[in-house]
Every structure is written in C-alpha cells, then in structure tokens.
C-alpha cells in the first residue's frame, strides 16, 4: 500500500493495523501535528465514507491519496460546501408543504454545521456577527441562525416552510458577502489598493451602467438589464470588499476619522450597503419600477458622494 500527500509519496510502516480507518487516522494525526489539515481523501481513486474505511483492510488497498492544505484552505472549502448545501436545501423546499422524516433529520443536523462554519470563519476574519445585518432593518447574523434553528423544528405547512426559506435567503446573502471578504483576505495590501484604483478609473462607466440597467428594464430588455446589473454589482461589491478587508487588516488606523461633508466613512458604507439591499429586495419581489428608480436616480448620486472617500482611504494607507 502506497500513501501520497499532495501527490508526494511518504514512507510509512504499519504497526498491526487491521482496518484502513486506523491507518488513515494515524496519517491524519501526523498531518495535523504539522499544522496542516486534510481537505480530501481518496482510496484507490474513490472517495469513501468513514464507515467504508472500517470495512477495508490495508492489504486490499493499493493507494491512499490525501489532499492537505492550510487553515485558510479548510475554511474556503467549507464555505463552498456551505453555499452548495444552502442551494440544495432551498431547491428542495421551494413549493413544498411538508418534509419527509429523513429530510427533517438531515436539516436539523445541517444547521449546527452551518453555524459552526460561520463562527470559525468569523473568528478568523475578526468579524462581529452581531453587528452584521444582511438585509436593512432585518435581523443580525446570530438572530438569523437562531430563527433557522427554531423554524426548522416544525416545517409541516407551506407557510412555515416559506418562513424558513425567508431566513435562509437572508443567510445566503450574508454568505455571499462573507465569501467575498474571505477571498479578499488572501490578497496583499498592494493587490487591494490596485483594485480600488482600478475601480476609480472606471467610476463614470459604472454610474452609466447602473443608469443603463433601468433603461433596459423600461424597454423590456430584462435579460440585458440583469446582465449589466450583475456585472456592475459585482464590481461594486469587489470595491467594498477591498475596503472592508483593509479596515480589518489595519485596525490601528482611525478610519472613522475620514469624514467628508460631515459624513464618516462607516456612515457612507452603511448607506451604500443598505441601498444595494433595497435594490435586491425590490428585484426579489418583482418590483422593477422601484429598483429602477434607485438605480437611475439614487445610486449614481450616492456613488458620486462616495468617490472622494476612496482617495482618502488610499492616502491613509501611504
């Protein structure tokens, strides 16, 4: 039997292990003792469950492959799995008025895992979850998780399932933002500053694109409008994520000392995030007129007002 870690063969000697799970446990302990984490495992090219490993012996196994990474890799993998899990749950529950017994058990086991993953990531990124509200005037993240726990206990009607899904949507919005923050946490300061500078260079185009979204909605070109909207929102979220990452990384800088026309940086960031949430809420309920008005009249003025703050942020980092 050969054992590989990230495609590198390692030398090992068996000490009387009769189950393959015992061999895996020993290698995993050695990996973790070196400050690494197991991200994946295959046995003769197959991904197996723990119970499967207990039914196999080392003598009938030819090769074990471990995929190993750092703590950041573990968190990133978990966030991807969490995002996929939320989509799976949402797609399963939409339009339903009840769950099977197995689905109920799986859901009750899944929510604690969701919470554990979020808490681990928040600790790593030094986030105060109680201060984060994915939807303006909505619940903060711990309250959303608690609401998911409570509502998941009794999903025996379409109304109760829809209530659960409403909390799941809020959680999904937060997860998208968290994933962005985590990704940018890997960037160097220079990378983050370059992103902000690049955004400043296309500021006028971003504003014109937001106006074009409403024009296309009004012309019945919803597909084109949504395409432009996704691109502009992604660019805006990238810029905001860069700012948030720099603020957390350089918490010795008095960021709120940045004030332009009696408005602080944090106030402007909150207004911008709230405006984006309002657009998302309007589009979710199909209110294109309301979303269009924000995109064409409110958001461009807000972006113009926010522009000087970007230059001030770059100055603080010199």
- The CATH number assigned to the domain holding 156 equals 1.20.120
Residues 6+ apart with CB under 8 A from 97: 156, 157, 158, 161
Q: For residue 249, what pLDDT is reported?
A: 79
C-alpha 91: how far from its chain's center? 18
Q: What is the pTM of this model?
A: 0.53
Q: For residue 136, what pLDDT is reported?
A: 59
Let me know whether 143 and 231 are in one domain: no
Q: What is the number of structural domains in the chain?
A: 3
| 39 pLDDT above the threshold of 80 | no
Instruction: Compute the Cα dihedral for 246, 252, 257, 263 and give only its sign.
Output: positive
Domain boundary (167, 184, 201) is at: 184
| 177 pLDDT above the threshold of 80 | no
Q: For residue 148, what pLDDT is reported?
A: 94
What is the chain's mean pLDDT, rounded?
84
In this prediction, residue 164 has a pLDDT band, given cuts at 50, 70 and 90, of: very high
Angle CA 141–110–81, to nearest 5: 80
In this prediction, residue 168 has a pLDDT band, given cuts at 50, 70 and 90, of: very high
Domain boundary (27, 49, 69) is at: 69
| % of residues, the chain, pLDDT over 70 | 97
| 64 pLDDT above the threshold of 90 | yes
How many whole angstroms separate alpha carbon 133 and alpha carbon 171?
10
């Amino acid at each position: 039997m050969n054992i590989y870690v990230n495609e590198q063969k390692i030398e090992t000697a068996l000490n009387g292990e009769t189950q393959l799970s015992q061999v895996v446990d020993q290698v995993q302990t050695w990996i973790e003792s070196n400050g690494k984490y197991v991200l994946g495992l295959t046995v003769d090219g197959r991904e197996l469950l723990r119970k499967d490993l207990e039914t196999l012996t080392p003598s009938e196994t030819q090769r074990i492959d471990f995929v190993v990474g750092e703590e950041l890799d573990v968190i990133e993998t978990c966030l991807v799995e969490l995002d996929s899990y939320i989509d799976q749950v949402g797609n399963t529950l939409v339009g339903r008025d009840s769950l099977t017994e197995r689905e109920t058990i799986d859901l009750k086991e899944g929510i604690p895992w969701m919470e554990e993953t979020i808490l681990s990531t928040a600790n790593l990124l030094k986030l105060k979850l109680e201060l984060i509200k994915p939807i303006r005037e909505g619940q903060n993240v711990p309250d959303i998780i608690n609401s998911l726990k409570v509502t998941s206990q009794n999903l025996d009607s379409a109304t109760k399932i829809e209530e659960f899904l409403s909390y799941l949507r809020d959680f999904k919005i937060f997860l998208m933002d968290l994933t962005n923050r985590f990704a940018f946490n890997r960037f160097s300061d220079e990378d983050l500053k370059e992103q902000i500078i690049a955004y400043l260079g296309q500021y006028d185009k971003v504003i014109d694109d937001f106006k074009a979204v409403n024009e296309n909605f009004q012309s019945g070109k919803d597909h084109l409008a949504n395409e432009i909207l996704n691109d502009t929102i992604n660019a805006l979220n990238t810029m905001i994520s860069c700012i948030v990452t720099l603020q957390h990384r350089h918490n010795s800088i008095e960021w709120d000392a940045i004030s332009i026309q009696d408005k602080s940086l944090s106030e402007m960031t909150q207004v911008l995030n709230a405006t984006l949430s309002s657009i998302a809420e309007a589009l979710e309920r199909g209110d294109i007129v309301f979303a269009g008005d924000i995109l064409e009249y409110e958001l461009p003025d807000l972006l113009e007002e926010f522009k000087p703050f970007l230059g001030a942020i770059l100055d603080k980092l010199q």
